[in-house]
Amino acid sequence: MNESKRILEVKELQTTFFTDSGQIPAVDRISFYLSDSEIVGIVGESGCGKSVTSLSVMGLVPSPPGKITGGEILYNGRDLTRLTDKEMRRIRGNDIAMIFQEPMTSLNPLFTIGNQMIEAIAIHQSEMSKKQSEEKAVQMLKLVGLPRASALMKDYPHQLSGGMRQRVMIAMALVCDPKVLIADEPTTALDVTIQAQILQLMKKLNTDLGTAILLITHDLGVVAEICERVIVMYAGQIIEEAPTSVLFKDPQHPYTQGLIQSVPDMRLKKERLYSIPGNVPKPGTILTGCRFAPRCKFAFDRCISENPELYVTADVHQTRCFLYEERKVKMDGNNTFVDS
């Protein structure tokens, strides 16, 4: 990928929470990029640092106790971590927008959809008249497939279904024509039919408007549907990154293996669905060794005593696992690690 086309670049980002129990590194020196018109997915279980990563990019980490303590977040070459609150507010919602996981907690129940849409326009595009702002809001509601858009402007959030509220959130995020859209679990609270509609909508917006999308999710099915590249996070670190087709065909990290095996396959008749044993460790509890080692059936002594770096297994594939370097395992036909 041509470096000049990278619209968002995160370098060695570290986000720390300062608590009575000590410093907790929720995001630990991660690096990735997002190119123009690209859709990239960040996947992992709850507690892996996905949402904190998105909030860090948006400058919305709750402070206190959270703080970005290292690294850079470059938007078109400009380091967002060095901006003042006022400067960041000009970018947030205008150049980089975000769709939050639960629209009912993001939309203000006391104001109509129209008031909230128009407010977003007024903040970032003050040159527009009230009539122009209303027309732009109605246009965006139509764009995301909402019926009776003009009448909808007078409705309150509680009068809409979950799928409609999520579409309103997408319309609000896109109303100022952002170059980057961050979607944090945008389909989690929706039924499968509405999920499919929202994903198709995001693909269409990416194609028609050229909006680059960073999709935060735990659902590999969603990733397979719309993402071009996948970043797998675990315990605050990136543990694998590859183009979507490469990752699903040849996953290198045992954690990624486990995530893929956990996806239900209707073609197979299994008594029990596979699950990764154990839980994601609390941030800061594993200081030495691979953070996945306590849950990994392939862990050996080195995994406990040393911290693995990201190995480049191919020009487009990276993995944080000693198994690649040691060459002590190989892949069998079922995409699982076996002893060589």
* Reported pTM: 0.87
| Residue type, position 65, single letter | P
Question: Within 10 A of 43 (CB to CB), how many other CB atoms are there?
Answer: 24
Mean per-residue pLDDT of the chain: 87
Model confidence band, residue 326 (pLDDT cutoffs 50, 70, 90): low
| Spatial distance between the Cα atoms of 235 and 50, rounded to a whole number of angstroms | 9
Q: Does residue 9 sit in the same domain as residue 122?
A: yes
Q: Does residue 261 sit in the same domain as residue 214?
A: no
Judge whether 309 lies within some domain: yes
Q: Strand, helix or coil at 96?
A: strand
Q: Does residue 288 sit in the same domain as residue 156?
A: no
Structural domain that includes position 308: 250-339
Q: What is the mean pLDDT of residues 161-167?
A: 85
Q: Comparing 169-178, 220-229, 231-240, 289-298, which segment has the lowest mean pLDDT?
A: 169-178
DSSP secondary structure string for all residues of 263-290: S--TTS--SS----SS-PPPTTS--SS-
Whole-number CA gyration radius for the chain: 21
Model confidence band, residue 339 (pLDDT cutoffs 50, 70, 90): very low
Q: What is the mean pLDDT of residues 299-320?
A: 90
Determine the pLDDT at residue 71: 96
Q: Does residue 214 sit in the same domain as residue 331?
A: no
Q: Does residue 50 sit in the same domain as residue 7?
A: yes
Judge whether 240 lies within some domain: no
Determine the pLDDT at residue 334: 45
Q: Does residue 288 sit in the same domain as residue 139?
A: no
Q: What is the mean pLDDT of residues 297-312?
A: 92
- H-assigned helices in the chain: 50-58, 85-91, 103-106, 113-124, 130-143, 149-152, 162-174, 192-209, 220-226, 244-249, 254-261, 301-305, 322-326
Q: What is the mean pLDDT of residues 37-52?
A: 93
Judge whether 122 lies within some domain: yes
pLDDT tens digits, one per residue of 225-254: 899 999 999 999 999 999 999 999 999 999
Q: Does residue 37 sit in the same domain as residue 92?
A: yes
CATH code of the domain containing 42? 3.40.50.300
Judge whether 328 lies within some domain: yes
pLDDT of 335 strictly over 50: no
pLDDT tens digits, one per residue of 183-222: 998 877 677 887 888 888 888 889 888 899 999 998 888 8
Tokens of 58: 């948006």
Q: Does residue 212 sit in the same domain as residue 258?
A: no
Instruction: Give the CA count within 13 Å in the CB-facing half-sphere of 144.
Output: 25
Q: What is the mean pLDDT of residues 156-174?
A: 88
Judge whether 258 lies within some domain: yes
CB 123 within 8 A of CB 192: no
Which of these three, 212, 227, 242, is where a domain ends?
Answer: 227
CA 16 to the chain's CA centroid: 19
Model confidence band, residue 125 (pLDDT cutoffs 50, 70, 90): confident
Q: Does residue 124 sit in the same domain as residue 166?
A: yes
Q: Does residue 318 sit in the same domain as residue 257?
A: yes
Q: Does residue 272 sit in the same domain as residue 323?
A: yes
Determine the pLDDT at residue 3: 47
pLDDT of 62 strictly over 70: yes
Judge whether 202 lies within some domain: yes
Judge whether 241 lies within some domain: no
Q: Strand, helix or coil at 16?
A: strand
- How many degrees, rounded to 5, is the angle at CA 276 between CA 274 and CA 278? 135
Q: Does residue 40 sit in the same domain as residue 88?
A: yes
Which of these three, 194, 227, 260, is where a domain ends?
Answer: 227
| Spatial distance between the Cα atoms of 303 and 193, rounded to a whole number of angstroms | 42
Model confidence band, residue 72 (pLDDT cutoffs 50, 70, 90): very high
Q: Strand, helix or coil at 80?
A: helix
Count of structural domains within the chain: 2
| Spatial distance between the Cα atoms of 112 and 168, rounded to a whole number of angstroms | 11
Of the candidates 176, 173, 195, the residue with the CA atom closest to the CA atom of residue 54: 173
Q: Is the peptide bond before 147 cis (omega within 30 degrees of 0)?
A: no
Judge whether 239 lies within some domain: no
